[in-house]
């Protein structure tokens, strides 16, 4: 698939010379799949069911789940919320609320004094003779929040929300940091409802009490993750851990990660995954900051399945480092890679940032024609991801059977500036790694 680079002025002249005989927009590349599809009209937004608050004197306490009400958030402002669950503590009811315009990680338990009872909208009653009434109650809130679950069908989404609707752990302590949790994690039943869960930062064993964790810590001999250290540079190390060989550590890592990731899959067999754990190293050992995982064998060429930077270590460029590291491993393997789909909104932003910086840096420095295949071979980025990125940047068009890149220097500079910092750079020469041998599994 040959690709020619042209300036925008050249393309404009070409378009005017063709008298508009070919409609370039009639065939374009879909941002997610990379497949050529006819442009579809934008989907009409589905309006929410409009209902009005009831008079204050008609409000009956305790409020029922699915009730809509304004609630005071941590910014001291009232936000539209939905009651997800309720519980009785010392004779007083507490309500687990979801702020309808905020991400689910902001959900929390609140007392009744945080609620504006003048804004109560009771849930729609369920008519036992109307099988669709329960569905209508669900649909009344399923489209309002935009939780990034577009790939779920209705049944999957209902099951996911029912299982994960209430966070079961309040916060964790890991090393010298305490972190508020964001989501439900499928920990063993006896840990549900624990306010603070204490993790050993070296082997990720977890405990209900801090003194239990400290007693365990005295017995720990290896002050780093298990597995092989495959990278060390300027105080940062990467460890490769085989899910089959270190099952308990990897399962604990998944429990930990799920507290900060809202994924459809709550548990999976770690045997079929490799885990790459990033650590900050000092005289006290190697302290986990984040990780990514990937399948040992992927027919689709996936070089990353799951990625997380722990909240205490965010805004340091570590997420960009992990994405970059996954592609450096792909270069060693000499295999084109792509992340597992579907990508969340934030995941897509992160990857587009990496793809944009990588591709435009090459286009800025290269002279003469370049093909999508050549770009893929240099970067190990999947051709479909290259096409979707350049289309998102409005720097590629499909004309007369071939993709044409419009890489005007000023446009390249503007996009490179807009995509921000590259984060913590990976030093490829410091990677000591051999690709996994599937025949030994």
Proportion of the chain above pLDDT 90, given as a percent: 65
Instruction: State residue 225 phi and psi, 5-degree precision.
Output: -65, 160
- pLDDT of 229-262, one tens digit each? 999 999 999 999 999 999 999 999 999 999 999 8
Cβ contacts of 278 within 8 Å, gap of 6 or more: 236, 237, 238, 288, 289, 290, 291, 318, 321, 322, 325
| Mean pLDDT, the chain, whole residue set | 84
pLDDT of 382 above 80: yes
**Cα R_g (the chain), whole angstroms:** 25
Q: Is there a contact between 31 and 391 (Cβ–Cβ < 8 Å)?
A: yes
The active-site residue out of 229, 333, 340, 377 is 340
Nearest of 364, 301, 363, 347 to residue 327 by alpha carbon: 301
- How many degrees, rounded to 5, is the angle at CA 222 between CA 221 and CA 228? 155
Quick one: tokens of 184? 């439900």
Q: Is there a contact between 325 and 276 (Cβ–Cβ < 8 Å)?
A: yes
Residue 35 pLDDT: 35
CA dihedral over 391, 397, 401, 404, signed as positive or negative: negative
Mean pLDDT, range 398-421, rounded to an integer: 85
Residue 435 pLDDT: 95
- What is the CB-side half-sphere exposure of residue 209 using CA atoms within 13 A? 3
Query: Catalytic: 340?
Result: yes
What CA–CA distance (Å, rounded) separates 337 from 183? 29
Residue appearing with tokens 């009651």: 83
Record the pTM.
Answer: 0.78
Residue appearing with tokens 């027919």: 299
Residue 13 pLDDT: 44
Nearest of 358, 349, 352 to residue 330 by alpha carbon: 358
- pLDDT of 86-128, one tens digit each? 999 999 999 999 999 998 888 999 999 999 999 999 998 876 7
Residue 5 pLDDT: 43
């Amino acid at each position: 698939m040959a690709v020619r680079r042209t300036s925008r002025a050249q393309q404009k002249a070409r378009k005017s010379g063709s008298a508009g005989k070919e409609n370039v927009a009639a065939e374009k590349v879909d941002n997610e799949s990379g497949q050529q599809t006819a442009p579809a009209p934008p989907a009409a937004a589905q309006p929410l069911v409009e209902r009005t608050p009831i008079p204050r004197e008609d409000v009956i306490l305790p409020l029922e789940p699915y009730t809509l009400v304004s609630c005071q958030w941590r910014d001291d402002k009232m936000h539209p919320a939905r009651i997800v669950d309720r519980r009785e503590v010392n004779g007083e009811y507490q309500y687990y609320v979801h702020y309808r315009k905020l991400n689910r990680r902001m959900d929390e338990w609140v007392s009744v004094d945080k609620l504006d009872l003048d804004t109560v909208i009771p849930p729609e009653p369920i008519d036992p003779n109307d099988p669709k009434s329960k569905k209508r109650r669900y649909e009344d809130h399923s489209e309002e929040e935009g939780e990034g679950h577009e790939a779920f069908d209705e049944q999957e989404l209902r099951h996911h929300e029912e299982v994960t609707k209430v966070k079961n752990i309040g916060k964790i302590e890991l090393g010298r940091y305490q972190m508020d949790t964001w989501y439900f994690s499928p920990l063993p039943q006896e840990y549900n409802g624990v306010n603070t869960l204490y993790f050993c930062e070296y082997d990720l064993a977890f405990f209900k009490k801090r003194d239990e964790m400290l007693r365990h810590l005295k017995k720990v001999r290896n002050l780093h993750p298990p597995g092989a250290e495959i990278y060390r540079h300027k105080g940062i190390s990467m460890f490769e851990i085989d899910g089959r060989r270190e099952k308990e550590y990897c399962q604990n890592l998944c429990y930990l990660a799920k507290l900060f990731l809202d994924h459809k899959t709550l548990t999976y067999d770690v045997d079929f995954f490799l885990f790459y754990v990033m650590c900050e190293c000092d005289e006290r050992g190697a302290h986990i900051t984040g990780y990514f995982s990937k399948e040992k064998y992927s027919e689709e060429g996936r070089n990353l399945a799951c990625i997380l930077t722990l909240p205490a270590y965010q805004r340091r460029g570590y997420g960009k480092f992990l994405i970059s590291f996954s592609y450096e491993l792909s270069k060693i393997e000499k295999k084109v890679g792509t992340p597992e789909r579907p990508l969340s909104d934030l995941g897509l932003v992160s990857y587009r940032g990496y793809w944009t910086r990588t591709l435009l840096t090459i286009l800025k420095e290269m002279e003469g024609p370049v093909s999508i295949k050549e770009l893929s071979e240099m970067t190990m980025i999947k051709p479909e991801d290259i096409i979707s990125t350049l289309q998102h940047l409005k720097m590629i068009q499909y004309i007369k059977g071939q993709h044409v890149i419009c890489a005007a220097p000023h446009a390249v500079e503007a996009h490179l500036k807009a995509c921000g910092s590259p984060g913590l750079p990976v030093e490829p020469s410091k990677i000591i790694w051999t690709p996994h041998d599937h025949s030994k599994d």
